[in-house]
Amino acid sequence: MRIPLVFLLSLLLATSSLAQERVRNVRIRVIDSSQLEIRYDLIEIHPGDSVYVDMESRLRGELRILPEFIRGDIGKRVTAGSDRRIVWDALASGYPLNEDIRAIVSVKAGPLISSAPVATQQPNESPAKPTEPVATKESKSADPEMPVVSTPTEAVSVRKTRYAGPAWALLSAVAPGIGNIFVQMPKPKVGLRPLVTIGCYGLLAYGLSERQKSHDEYALYEQQKNMTAAEPYYTQANSHHQNYYLATRGAIVVAAIDVILTFMKGLRNNRLQRTQGLQPVTVRPGLQAGQLTAVVHYSF
């Protein structure tokens, strides 16, 4: 009785040791400050087997892995070999990489495919009697069902939404028409909007040149000895001043309208994105120390 028991224990230990040796040399490292790369050596795998990974944290315990945030040599159809690679997007799953995390790579055995049963017929010991032939209907043996092999789902990266909010009005205040490009949905549209920028700055340049001409004509007006000779210079100075006033005020009105339209369009886009919940990562313009900057916002 002792010999079979010892043999059975030895067989179990040998089987467990072979099962543990199917995966070796598991390594883990951080890439891009948000993802974990797991590399391992797969010693042996059989058809129908699947590779899976468990992540454990010293603080949180077992971490939940969503299929859309993991990719690489995982699941079924993984071939044996060294330096197999799995990438898990931990930050997208809601786990910051500021704690100790351990990866456990295992192989799960698949169902065994049973072979088709072979029909056996016992020999008839009684002497054969002449009988009429009886028509028999051959039954087709059922084909063995093949296991359904599911391929590992590809990882879906974090969806980065483009910021199209009211902060683009700050850019329109500096360059009228340009900020309005970035509040167009679903993607920026240029169109004729740069002409607004050219028109505004063209009116400003024209107005400033008319102002300088007005000052020059008025200086000539003051140098004249009599009113008859001075009157044309005064008229020219007044005309240039009116042109300066109309051009600069027109540029201000066009820029103000563009800023208001950009701000209102940005507010509407913000409401739509907030309703659809599409703002995990946003990039928007902002002001810091009087300078235009880019503000990156991430939430999960």
* Contact present, 99 and 57 (Cβ < 8 Å): yes
30: left (phi over 0), alpha (psi -120 to 50) or beta: beta
Q: Is 5 helix (H, G, I), strand (E, B) or coil?
A: helix
Residue with the two structure tokens 């483009």? 162
Tokens at 274, concatenated: 């907030």
Q: What is the pLDDT of residues 138-156, one digit of tens each?
A: 444 444 444 444 444 343 3
Which pLDDT score is estimated for 155?
39
* Contact present, 70 and 88 (Cβ < 8 Å): yes
Distance from C-alpha of 30 to C-alpha of 33, rounded to nearest angstrom: 6
Q: Is 148 helix (H, G, I), strand (E, B) or coil?
A: coil
* Contact present, 224 and 143 (Cβ < 8 Å): no
For residue 267, the one-letter residue type is L
Which pLDDT score is estimated for 92?
86
Which pLDDT score is estimated for 112?
60
Which pLDDT score is estimated for 32?
80
Tokens at 198, concatenated: 């050219």
* pLDDT < 50: residue spans in the chain: 1-19, 115-120, 123, 133-159, 278-280, 298-300
Which pLDDT score is estimated for 110?
76
* Contact present, 104 and 54 (Cβ < 8 Å): yes
Residue with the two structure tokens 């948000």? 34
Which pLDDT score is estimated for 283?
57
Which pLDDT score is estimated for 140?
44
Residue with the two structure tokens 């000539």? 220
Instruction: Spell out the alpha helix ranges (H) of 66-157.
Output: none
